[in-house]
Structure 1
Amino acid sequence: MKALIFAAGLGERMRPLTTHTPKPLLEAGGKALIAWHLEKLAAIDVREVVVNTSWLAPRFPEVLGDGARFGVHIEYAYEGETPLETGGGMLNALPLLGDAPFLLVNGDVWSDYDFARLPREPRGLAHLVMVAPPVQAPAGDFALDEDGLLHRDGARRLTYSGIGLYRPQLLADWRTHTDADAGVAANGKPRFRLAPILRAHMDAGDVSGEYHAGRWTDVGTPQRLSELDAQLRSA
């Protein structure tokens, strides 16, 4: 299995910390956020990792190299000067990922979720790890039912953790399901969000999920990074 790490965001809410350092390279607990993911991937024998980049892209190979010191091999999927959003970023990386299901993790989250818990293949087109809605976004993203399927709406609304398992075929008909911005191109490449595509396939019962009750942080502000750093250093 290969893995994709989303690392192309501008990190605007993290300024000035991200003026010279991409958000996934910011440190918490003595190591870069993305390093936590690389070590966990190596621990479950995922050796081929694609890192998508945009903002301050050269900093990633400068810091991470080819991934050898983490026990993985990294290939970089450069999106261009403008990030392509989640859907466009995934589409841009697909040539490096192949035809098999791949593990996806956002480079700006931290969690104690064990990647080994993920199924080897999703039963549909995607399997998402969900967490309790954080205080800064209490409405949640999707609803998880008792059969482990995700829906646009429902009684048990949870937040997508940024960790999941995807089939490349999820994007086979991306033009059909993308939102009003689907026609926008950046750097000569399609730029679109993944969420509308996931919702469309949820309607067909093709997106499953699981609830993670453990620790998870969306490192979206300097304060949350500072809090995470303190927690990890005191553990």
Structure 2
Amino acid sequence: MKALILAAGYGVRLAAVAKDTPKPLLTVAGKALIDHVVERLRTAEGLSEIVVVTNHKFYGHFTRWAKTPPAPPMAGPAAGRAHAGVPIRVVNDGTDTPEERLGSVGDIHFVWSRERVHDDWLIVGGDNLFDQEMTPFLSFARAKAPAISVGLYDIGDIRAASKFGVCSLDAQGRVTLFQEKPEKPLSTLIATCVYYFPRPTLTLIEEYRVQSNALDAAGSYIQWLAEKKNVYGFQFSGKWYDIGSVESLNDAQQHFK
């Protein structure tokens, strides 16, 4: 299994505080957001590599980050972030401006189209912050394979849910309805940017790209998949934050301090 961290956004909504720092490298509790993500990934059984996809504008930021030894508890004997036990590779999607961005689905396709896709893939947003380990999600997802699995979170607020993909599940955890940013959500159970794609499902992204130009939001792809294939949802416990605004960044800093 390989992991892909999506980090190719331009952080427009956080420009006032981020300035020239990419959003996943903003600090919460003394560590970059992406370091929190890597800490969750490094305990995942069977993980052979972490790939970080970013844009040309911030490529240098992430290559420097990847070469810099992390602070404890991730620290170990080898150099760079790889000494957390799993090598990290940074990929440049070639874009320079928000107008050129490939979008989440576009970046997933960009990486997969250049890889020898002989692996299952765990995908995580570089601006997602959560305090649960990946092991329960991976155990669930592997049990449901070859179906795709998505990490879910009960946000507890109908109005807040309208900003995300909203899910309904059956008794087996299968997604029976997926609404991408609905005006009137049917529940408060939302999709996080955590996905598990078994190897046989990777080619579906080609079919999606032919049928849809909605490449910016991964939720649109999950909605399309749920209408065609079995997709299962695993509900995370603990806290989860999508760091998309100054307010959510401040909330996360308060929780994780």
Q: Which of the five TM-score ranges fits, normalised by the shorter chain?
A: 0.7 to 0.9
Higher helix fraction (1 or 2):
2
Aligned-partner Cα distance in 1 for 2:188–2:145? 21
Correspondence 1:106 to 2:140:
no
2:89 aligned residue: 75
| Consecutive unaligned residues in structure 1, runs of 5 or more | 182-190
Correspondence 1:90 to 2:108:
yes
CA contact 1:127–1:209 (8 Å) conserved in 2: yes
2:189 aligned residue: 158
CA contact 1:50–1:97 (8 Å) conserved in 2: no
State the shift of 1:19 in Å: 2.0
Percent of counterpart pairs with the same letter? 24
State the shift of 1:192 in Å: 5.0
SS in 2 for 1:231: helix
User: Could you tell me which amino acid in structure 1 is paired with residue 54 of structure 2?
Assistant: T
1:217 aligned residue: 241
User: Could you tell me which amino acid in structure 2 is paired with residue 172 of structure 1?
Assistant: E
User: Could you tell me which amino acid in structure 1 is paired with residue 120 of structure 2?
Assistant: P
| Consecutive unaligned residues in structure 2, runs of 5 or more | 68-79, 180-184
Aligned-partner Cα distance in 2 for 1:38–1:177? 33
SS in 1 for 2:17: coil
TM-score scaled to structure 1, two decimals? 0.84
CA contact 1:51–1:76 (8 Å) conserved in 2: yes
2:173 aligned residue: 148
CA contact 2:191–2:219 (8 Å) conserved in 1: no
78-87 or 112-121, which moves further after superposition? 112-121
Question: Once the two structures are superposed, what CA deviation does each residue of 1:147-166 show, in whole Å capped at 9, x if it has no partner?
Answer: 21112359545211111211
Aligned-partner Cα distance in 2 for 1:177–1:115? 32
CA contact 1:121–1:165 (8 Å) conserved in 2: no
CA contact 2:151–2:193 (8 Å) conserved in 1: yes
Aligned-partner Cα distance in 2 for 1:192–1:222? 21
> In the superposition, relative to structure 1, how do residues 178 and 121 fare at CA in structure 2: closer, same or farther (>3 Å)?
farther
SS in 1 for 2:132: coil
SS in 2 for 1:152: strand
